[in-house]
Amino acid sequence: MRKKIIAGNWKMNKTVEEAVELATAVKRELADCTEVDVVLCPPFTALKSVSDVVSETQIAVGSQNMSSEDEGAYTGEICHTMLKELFVRYVILGHSERREYYKETDEWINKKVIKALEKNLRPILCVGETLEERESGNMEKVVELQVREGLKGVSADAYTELVIAYEPVWAIGTGKTASAEQAQEVHAFIRATVKDMVGAEAADAVRIQYGGSMKPANAAELLGQPDIDGGLIGGAALDAGSFAEIVKAGM
């Protein structure tokens, strides 16, 4: 049985004070949760403060991005050493917003994934298609390419340390949600792709999250699907009660 993982991506929301307030509220609800892995991904500016809030709990902290480089003249970037110093354990890589707004390529994202694994950080690799790509019948082609290119060079043994997040781009921040059946279909396809890449054992072990507007109302149905191992939560993660409900739906 794969343990469910629910990660809250706060995106560019919350000042440090607001982040502490939200993390404290989540801590009240989920501090002792062991049935589900819980991850909070605040903005870089709040990583230290959120880490302090959850330091003696089961809640982990993740970052929303990471450089593929170790150090140097890369203005505005954050490297693995800086993140680990703040007790970050997970890094979201290849989010659709990074791909779209900042033109991150599969090759660049792959370098970040490899770097994260080398430095004992757990990447959450995001993959997913746009509405146009789905409606034109290219969903499988797009998702397969992102999985294969994003995880190129990753050994089979490392799949227990990484997470894949399927985020149908057309369902992010739009209020639209893939049906549980649609989501399960793509998750199963991703797992089959991993099996073809590195074998059945790694495919059975890797956790695949759903990242398309999961909320309390649909969490139980989505998380009940055989190949959906958690959620990468956006808007609902900004409310401690809603986020806790989603986590509890995975218990």
Quick one: how far is CA 242 from the chain centroid?
Answer: 18
- Whether 187 is a known active-site residue: answer no
CA separation for the pair 95, 109 (Å, rounded):
9
Task: Decide if 129 contacts 168 (C-beta within 8 A).
Answer: yes
Task: Decide if 168 contacts 126 (C-beta within 8 A).
Answer: no
Closest among 15, 174, 75, 176 to 23, alpha carbons compared = 15
Task: Decide if 110 contacts 61 (C-beta within 8 A).
Answer: no
Among 97, 129, 133, 167, the one annotated catalytic: 167
Neighbours of 160 (CB within 10 A): 13
User: Looking up tokens 């989920």, which residue turns up?
Assistant: 30
Among 80, 95, 97, 129, the one annotated catalytic: 95
CA dihedral sign, ordered 224, 227, 229, 233 = negative
- Whether 167 is a known active-site residue: answer yes
> Among all residues, which ones are annotated catalytic?
95, 167
